[in-house]
Every structure is written in C-alpha cells, then in structure tokens.
Amino acid sequence: MTVLFYLEKLASGGCAVPNDAVESALRELSSGCVTKEKGNPMADDKINPIREKVEGIVDQAKGHVKDAAGGLAGDAGLQADGKVDQLAGMAREEFADLYEEGEGLIEKSVTFVRDKPLLSLGVAWFVGTLFGWIVMPRRNRA
C-alpha cells in the first residue's frame, strides 16, 4: 500500500500512519515533483499541487488527532484548534484541485493560440471592439 493511501486513511480517522512514512513521502514529493524550466523566471513560483494535497491530508489528520484529544481531555480550545486544522487541510486540498484546473485551462488556451494564431487574433479583436463599443460613450452630433 502506498503512503498516500495511509495518509487518506489517517485523514478520515481510519488508521494510524508511522511518522517516518509521512516524512519520507513529503521528502519524495518535495525533491522531484517540481520542475524548473530554464530561462523562465516564473518557474520558481510554481506550486506543486501533489505536495499541497498531501500537506492538506496531513493537516486534516493532525486536526482529527487534536479534536479527539481535546474531546477526551475536555479541552475545548484543543478541540477548536483541531477543527481549524481540519478546515485548513480541506482548504489546502481544494486549492490544489482548483490550481490544477486553472493550469489545465491556461494550457488549453495557450495551445489554441499556438495552433490557430489568426483565429485567436480575430477573436481578441472582436472582443476588444465589442468591449469598447459597450464601454465608450457614443457622441451625438447635433
């Protein structure tokens, strides 16, 4: 079974995962998943969605543990902290999903522009003209 399987089980409260498995998974993800392109200054700012998903699962698992410990100890603050960690983990996972979808849309549009540059130019001209026609006031000549 893979480390991601164990992390998903841990996040759902199903089983415990050894700490070394989590650390090795994060090390693997951080070492090889982000590729930097030469000559592209934006490549350093790229987010690794897989790493974000794993960290979200880990945050959810920490939240479950804190929530359970707070419930057993009767500590409402620890329970609230666990709930916050769970929500942060879910938000992190959703962000990674949205980021992947956005990357896909950008990639599709770049491919469209590369494949059909004249059509892309025509669409941009039409949209710009339509926008200008709607936004700019018309002059009445009297």
Whole-model pTM over 0.75 = no
pLDDT tens profile 83-142: 999 999 999 999 999 999 999 999 999 999 999 999 999 999 999 999 998 998 777 655
Return d(Cα 54, Cα 96) in angstroms, integer: 10
Distance CA 122, CA 11 (A): 50
What DSSP designation does 14 have?
A: S
- The pLDDT value recorded for residue 136 is 85
Question: pLDDT tens digits for 26-84?
Answer: 565 555 544 444 555 555 567 888 899 999 999 999 999 999 999 999 889 999 999 99
Residues in the chain: 142
| 69/59 Cα distance (integer angstroms) | 15
Question: Domain segments of the chain: what residues?
Answer: 3-116
